[in-house]
C-alpha cells in the first residue's frame, strides 16, 4: 500500500478531486495549509498597501491506495494540478505499513 500526500494550489482542488474520482479513488483527506518553497511567499495588496507574505495558502491532499494504483494516482494529480507556473506544489509518496477500518476491523487494502 502507498500513502500519497500532494500539496497544491487551492483552485486546483476540484480538478484533482474529479481526476481521482474517475480513477476510482474512494476517499481522501483534504486540509487547508500554508507554506512556502522556492516561491518564497508572495506580494499582496490590502487596502491599497502592498505587503509581503512568507506563507502561501495551499491545499494538502492525503490518499491511501493500493501499490499498483499509486502511479496512476500520482499522474492524475500531476496533470490536474499543473498550471506551469511556480508554486504548483509537490507530491510525496510513502510506503504504508498498515491500515485499519475502525468500524469493521478490516485491515490493509480491504480497509481502503
- Per-residue pLDDT in tens (0 to 9) along the chain, 112 residues: 999 999 999 999 999 999 999 999 989 999 999 887 776 666 656 667 766 677 788 999 999 999 999 999 999 999 999 999 888 999 999 999 999 999 999 999 999 8
What domains does the chain contain, in order, with CATH numbers? 2-110 (3.30.70.120)
Exposed e or buried b per residue across 33-51, where buried means at least 16 C-beta atoms within 10 angstroms of its C-beta: eeeeeeeeeeeeeeeeeee
The C-alpha cell that represents 33 in the structure block: 495549509
CA R_g for the chain? 17
The C-alpha cell that represents 50 in the structure block: 502592498
Q: Judging by DSSP bridges, how do beta strands 56-65 and 89-95 pair with one another?
A: unpaired
**pTM score of the predicted model:** 0.85
pLDDT at 54: 74
pLDDT at 19: 97
Amino acid at each position: 500500500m502507498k500513502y500519497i500526500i500532494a500539496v497544491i494550489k487551492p483552485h486546483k482542488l476540484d480538478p484533482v478531486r474529479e481526476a481521482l474520482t474517475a480513477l476510482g479513488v474512494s476517499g481522501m483527506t483534504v486540509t487547508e495549509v500554508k507554506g512556502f518553497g522556492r516561491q518564497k511567499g508572495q506580494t499582496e495588496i490590502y487596502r491599497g498597501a502592498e505587503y509581503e507574505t512568507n506563507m502561501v495558502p495551499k491545499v494538502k491532499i492525503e490518499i491511501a491506495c493500493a501499490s499498483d494504483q499509486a502511479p496512476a494516482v500520482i499522474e492524475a494529480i500531476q496533470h490536474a494540478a499543473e498550471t506551469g507556473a511556480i508554486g504548483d506544489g509537490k507530491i510525496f509518496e510513502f510506503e504504508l505499513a498498515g491500515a485499519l477500518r475502525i468500524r469493521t476491523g478490516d485491515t490493509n487494502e480491504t480497509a481502503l
